[in-house]
């Protein structure tokens, strides 16, 4: 997912500027309220963007974890069977 993080940060900056433009008339001279609204919108946009770019990859990560767990269990079972057969002979 190269480039998704920087793309999401740019989206956050855009949403911050868009919020400032939409609230400019309402906020008046209260710069703290405007900064708070800008930061909130920017954070929400970045979080949504990152979630949408990483969610499609989750099944692949789950499959990889399942394969690793299966291989570990299989090799453990093989080693145990080999030990038991050595003890029996």
Q: What confidence tens digit (pLDDT) does each residue in 71-87 have?
A: 999 999 999 999 888 88
Q: Which pLDDT value is given to residue 5?
A: 61
Q: What confidence tens digit (pLDDT) does each residue in 20-70 have?
A: 777 666 656 667 767 777 788 888 888 888 788 777 788 888 999 999 999
Q: Which pLDDT value is given to residue 29?
A: 60
**Which helix or strand (DSSP H or E) is residue 79 part of?**
helix 58-88
Query: In this structure, what are the phi and psi dihedrals at residue 55, rounded to the nearest 5 degrees?
Result: -60, -40
Quote the CA–CA distance of 9 and 87 in Å, as a whole number: 61
How much is the pTM?
A: 0.49
């Amino acid at each position: 997912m190269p480039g998704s993080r920087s793309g999401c940060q740019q989206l956050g900056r855009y949403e911050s500027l868009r919020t400032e433009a939409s609230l400019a008339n309402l906020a008046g001279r209260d710069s703290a309220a405007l900064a708070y609204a800008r930061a909130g919108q920017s954070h929400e946009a970045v979080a949504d963007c990152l979630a949408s770019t990483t969610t499609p990859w989750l099944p692949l990560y789950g499959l990889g974890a399942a394969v690793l767990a299966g291989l570990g269990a299989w090799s453990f079972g093989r080693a145990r069977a080999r030990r038991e057969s050595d003890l029996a002979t």
